[in-house]
Amino acid sequence: MKKRAENTTGIREIAKRANVSIGTVDRVINNRPGVSAKTKETIQKIIEELDYQPNIMARMLASKKVIRIAALIPSVSNETGYWNAPLKGINEAASEIRNFGVVVDNYFFDQNAKQTFTDQADNILKQNYDGLLLAPMFENESIAFLSRCRQNHIPFVLINSDLADQANVAYIGPDLFQSGYLAAHLSKYLISASQTVLVVNISREIDLHHHLLKKEEGFRTSFEKEHTGVAIDKVDINETDYDSLQKTLKRVFKKNKPDLVFVTNSRVSSVARFFEENKIQDVKLIGYDFLEENIEYLKKGTIDFLICQKPQEQGYKGVMSIYQHLLQAPVESVQYMPIDIITKENYSYYKN
């Protein structure tokens, strides 16, 4: 079993085992030249054996370099307060590392208007940031933006939803496919074979919000594998204001009333409101995120399950991961958040 060396004595222990000076070990840890390939290999092997973790804060103080990080996430809207939680985590991390010469600037875009994303991306690229934290809400625009970041040698961490083959430092967030798969597993406790499920995607830019579609894919795959006989319908609601949503759901329910509704994002409270206002009591409801408006309907039993994935922790870990990378400290490339199931019985013990 590996034994973690304390930072105060770790370098001395490494130097002793490698039969080199402390300065040589320091050069290897900080990736500076002047060490032969053979000696470097020996030192790195000992570092791995000891599971030595360099003190990144001390390293920052020694370098006296100012690090500038940009965070680009959706703004909080009238339709969902979800992004309050990642922002809180981002600000918490920024506060912790501010005294070590790190500046974190927050940029926001409207998740219902992709042009605002593009405009903010352009603003960030003009500012010569050292690193980026990004919630890639719009797939094509995000890929184009990240391509420009690579050209400008700006490393980046992704939170909340992942993009394949982007050479990001890390992804911190849910396993979207598995999250949808879990929602289907929960559904099987609430309905029986031959009943009907309605998948509801609520977003102005459905085709661009790939994180919704990955959840839907996982949801469908679970039912397909087990051949339950459950019919799955789907509705994409592009007009996200409540009046438009209600009009669409009334039409869908009139045509074929489902036995369970699965909402693929945090806007499940809007569907719960529709249930209450239209006195729908015999349809089960599953959605996402530990938000005040969602908890109110969960407590009343209108929402049966909420699936939550630590958004505040995503923001915090996102900032700390890009910071560690900029200090040349190791960063875990994939950091999946837990997929938590919240009910009216346990919501009061949960924190984002």
How does DSSP assign 287-314, residue by residue? EE---HHHHHHHHHTSS-EEEE--HHHH
Average pLDDT, the chain: 89
Q: Do domains 65-173+311-337 and 176-308 have the same CATH topology?
A: yes
* Residue whose tokens read 């438009």: 244
Buried-exposed string 32-61: b where 16+ CB fall within 10 A, e elsewhere: eeebeeebbebbeebbeebebebebeebbe
Q: According to the model, what pLDDT value does residue 13 have?
A: 82
Outline where 138-285 has alpha helix (H).
139-151, 176-190, 210-226, 242-255, 268-277
In eight-state DSSP terms, residue 153 is T
CATH topology of domain 176-308: Rossmann fold (3.40.50)
- Among 114, 217, 207, residue whose Cα is nearest residue 175: 217
Q: Which of 141, 151, 174, 150 is nearest to 72 (CA)?
A: 141
What is the tens place of the pLDDT at every residue in 173-223? 999 999 999 999 999 999 988 899 999 999 877 554 677 889 999 999 999
The answer, yes or no, to whether residue 228 has pLDDT greater than 90, is: no
Please tell me the least confidently modeled range out of 20-34, 173-187, 233-247, 270-284.
20-34
pLDDT of residue 4: 41
The 3-state DSSP class for residue 158 equals: strand
C-alpha–C-alpha distance, residues 140 and 335, integer Å: 23
**In a 3-state reduction of DSSP, which class is residue 266?**
coil
Taking only the tens place, the pLDDT of each residue in 126-168 is: 999 999 999 998 889 999 999 999 999 999 999 998 998 999 9
* CA 185/CA 179 separation, integer angstroms: 10
Average pLDDT over residues 72-101: 89
Tell me the CATH number for domain 65-173+311-337: 3.40.50.2300
Q: What percent of the chain has pLDDT over 70?
A: 91
> Residue 49's pLDDT is what?
84
The predicted pLDDT at position 294 comes to: 96
Q: What is the pLDDT of residue 77?
A: 74
Tell whether the model's pLDDT for residue 55 goes beyond 70: no
Specify the higher pLDDT residue, 215 or 352: 215
What's the pLDDT at 245? Answer: 96
* pLDDT on residue 15: 84
**How far is the first Cα of the chain from the last one, in angstroms, to the nearest whole number?**
33
pTM of the model as a whole = 0.79
Structure confidence at residue 54 (pLDDT): 66
Name the pairing type of β-strands 340-342 and 305-308.
antiparallel
Show the beta-strand stretches assigned E in the chain: 67-74, 102-109, 131-134, 156-159, 170-173, 196-202, 231-237, 260-263, 284-288, 305-308, 334-336, 340-342
Residue 60 pLDDT > 70, yes or no?
A: no
Q: What is the CATH number of domain 7-54?
A: 1.10.260.40
* Span 4-34, pLDDT tens digits: 444 445 777 888 889 988 778 878 877 778 8
Cα distance between residue 15 and residue 18, in whole Å = 5
pLDDT value for 216: 94
Give, in order, the Cα–Cα distances in Å from 191 to each of 18, 188, 204, 231, 259: 63, 6, 30, 11, 7
**What are the residue ranges spanned by the domains of the chain?**
7-54, 65-173+311-337, 176-308
Q: Report, as an integer, the average pLDDT of 43-66.
A: 72
